[in-house]
Each structure stands twice: as C-alpha cells, then as structure tokens.
Amino acid sequence: MTVQLTPVDDAGTAAPPPPDGGPARRPATVWSVFLHKPTVWIFGGILIVMVLASVVGPLLAASPVSTNNPTFQPPGGAYPFGTDNLGRDYLARVLGGGRISLLVGFSVAALCLTLALVVGGLAGYHGGTLDLVLVKVSEFFQVIPGLVLALVAAALLGTNVTLIVVILAVTMWPGVARIVRAEAMRISQLGYVESQRAAGFRALRILWSDVLPNAMPPVLVATTMTVARAILAESGLSFLGIGDANAPSWGALLNQAQPYIGTAPWLPLFPGLCIFIVVLAINLLGDALNDALNPSIGKVK
C-alpha cells in the first residue's frame, strides 16, 4: 500500500530534484532570481567580507589587548582604525568585536529557527492546546518589549555570551514561530498532506517530509531578519554595559567609546558603522529573498 502511494509523497516534497525537473523547478527559479539580483551580489559580498574579516581577521591583526601603542592615535598609518584610550589597536578590537556580534546574531537566529520549527510546526499541524499556548506566548512577547525582559534577565542571570544568546533567543523565537505555525496550518489543509494522512503516514513524518520543507520560504525570510534584529539587540544590551566583559562586541566598544566622543570620534564611529553595514546587508538580503519568493508583492501595478 505504501509502495503504491510513494509517487504522491515524492511530488509533495520539493527537496530532491527529480529527473524530470517537475516539482523542483519552483525553488530553482527562486534561487536563480535571488542570485541574479544586483543587491544580492553587492550586499551578499559585503556580508561575506565582514564575516570573513571577523572570523579570520583576529588571527592576523595585532593583539586586541596589548597596550604597547600610543594612546588616541587617529586612524591612518600603522593604525588603520587608530588606537583607543589605553593604546590598544582599534582595528584588532573592532575585528574581535565583530566576531562576538556576528556569533551572537547567527546563533540566536539558528536557535530561534530550531525552536520555531519544532513548536510552530507541531502547533500549526496539530492545533489544540499546544497551539493555544503558542498563540498566547507569542502574543505575550509581541506586547511586552523584549528588550526590557532581556535587560533584566541578562543583568540578573549573568552576562556570558552563551546566556545572552539564550536570553535573546527566548525573547525572539515566537516571532518566527508565528510564521511557521501559520504556514503549517495552511499546508496541513492541502491535498498532498491529506492524501498522506489517508495513506496512514504518521504525523511526525508528514510534518518532517512535507509540511516543514514547504513552509520554509517565508520562515527563511523571517530568520534572516532575526539575525539582524539579534545583532541590534545584543549591541543595545552591551551598549548599556550588559554584555560579556571578556568578549567585547561592537556594542561594548560603543559603550567604552562614549566618554571620548569629542576627543576621539573614530572610537564610536567604526563599531557603529560595522553594525550598520552588517544589519543593512542582512535586511537587504532578506528583502531580496522575499521579493524572489513573492514576485508579485511590492510592485505597483
């Protein structure tokens, strides 16, 4: 019986490209549309450069903690980003800060995505109590500003990077989960899911093989935006002095730069510019992905 119905199952899953190229065509065009946008080229490139610089850069740059340099050197010459109040090489500090900021941004988004897929998928597919709880929880986080809760939680529970990631993910995952839920709800009404149910597949299998893959497009857009929001939120927290003191992120650099804004304007300039560029690139990539997925939205008729 299962053997008879496998074609239906294959038609439903969009992931493996079948030889005839039928069902897999849509995702392929989406990606080619996405990859052919100039925005994607430019800002994708910028983002990759920033990520590489933050990952590899600290290995090549001078020591971010050495104070053997003159203090308050303006940018230029031996110090492309200048030096700070203690004579630390600012380029090295900005690169190291990027490592933390990006790590937090991507980890939070990954955690949010995982949580959202599990809870949102189950809630949307099954409905019932879990769905009710998810709706209430996401309403809660929609109404109560996450920054306030994150501030209190981080200040009270401690401020190492892992804890910050967990706290931000807790305040941000319902946003993604709402979208997973809405999509899972829509998809579970569709014919191919119905036929699988009729064929007697277990709910978890249907969820995993059909519902979630087909729910991915809008969820990916939301996850992309979550990276940007998490970087902004983390920089806000550490700007207020609530961050890992041993791993200064861009926000922490801005916090330390605040007193020297008149004497050494490059100190607040560079970390903020980095945050701005990364967040802008991620937001534009998210927009481009959204446009590629829904070509009709956003066009004036």
Partner 1 sequence: MTSVLSHYGRLLLSSVILLLVVISILFLLLELAPGDPIQTLVGDVPVTQALRDQLTASFGLDRPVWERYAIYLANVARGDLGVSFGTNTPVAELIGERIGATLALTVPAFVISTTGGIVIGSIAARTRRRWLDSLLSGGSVGLFSLPNFWLGLMLILLFSVTLGWFPAQGKAPYGQDGISLPYLVLPVITMATMELAYKARVMRSSMIESLGQDFVDTAASKGLSSRRVLWRHALPNALLPMVTVSGYSLGHMLAGSALVETVFGWPGIGQLFVGAIERQDTFLVLGVVIVITVMVLIVNVLTDIVYGIVDPRLRARVSRSAAPRSLRGPRTPAVSEQQRSRA
Q: Give me the residues that bind partner 1 (CB under 8 A), please.
A: 135, 139-149, 151-153, 155-158, 171-172, 174-176, 178-179, 182, 218, 221-222, 225, 228-229, 232, 235-236, 239-242, 251, 254, 257-258, 261-262, 265, 268-269, 271-272, 275-276, 279-280, 283-284, 287, 297-301
Q: Which is nearer to partner 1, 211 or 222 (CB)?
A: 222
Q: Which is nearer to partner 1, 62 or 119 (CB)?
A: 119
3-class DSSP assignment, residue 83? strand
Q: Which is nearer to partner 1, 49 or 152 (CB)?
A: 152
Angle at 236 between CA 233 and CA 237, to 5 degrees: 90
76: β partners: 79
Minimum distance from residue 222 beta carbon to partner 1 (Å): 6
Q: Which is nearer to partner 1, 37 or 62 (CB)?
A: 37
SS (H, E, C) 276-290: HHHHHHHHHHHHHHH
Q: What are phi and psi of 76, to 5 degrees?
A: 130, 160
CA distances from 126 to 119, 132, 169, 257 (A): 11, 11, 24, 51
Minimum distance from residue 269 beta carbon to partner 1 (Å): 8
Q: Are 131 and 119 in contact (CB under 8 A)?
A: no
The amino acid occupying position 248 is P
Q: Which is nearer to partner 1, 117 or 242 (CB)?
A: 242
Minimum distance from residue 134 beta carbon to partner 1 (Å): 13
Count of CB atoms within 10 A of residue 229's CB?
A: 23
Minimum distance from residue 76 beta carbon to partner 1 (Å): 19
3-class DSSP assignment, residue 193? helix
Q: Which is nearer to partner 1, 36 or 202 (CB)?
A: 36
Q: Are 190 and 68 in contact (CB under 8 A)?
A: no
Q: Cβ contacts of residue 83 below 8 Å, gap of 6+?
A: 69, 70, 71, 72, 73, 89, 90
Minimum distance from residue 165 beta carbon to partner 1 (Å): 16
Cα separation of 113 and 180, whole Å? 9
Cα separation of 225 and 267, whole Å? 27
The tokens describing 73, both together, are 């050197």
Minimum distance from residue 23 beta carbon to partner 1 (Å): 23
Minimum distance from residue 82 beta carbon to partner 1 (Å): 15
Q: Which is nearer to partner 1, 62 or 211 (CB)?
A: 211
Cα separation of 192 and 13, whole Å? 9
Q: Which is nearer to partner 1, 80 or 241 (CB)?
A: 241
Count of CB atoms within 10 A of residue 18's CB?
A: 11
Minimum distance from residue 88 beta carbon to partner 1 (Å): 20
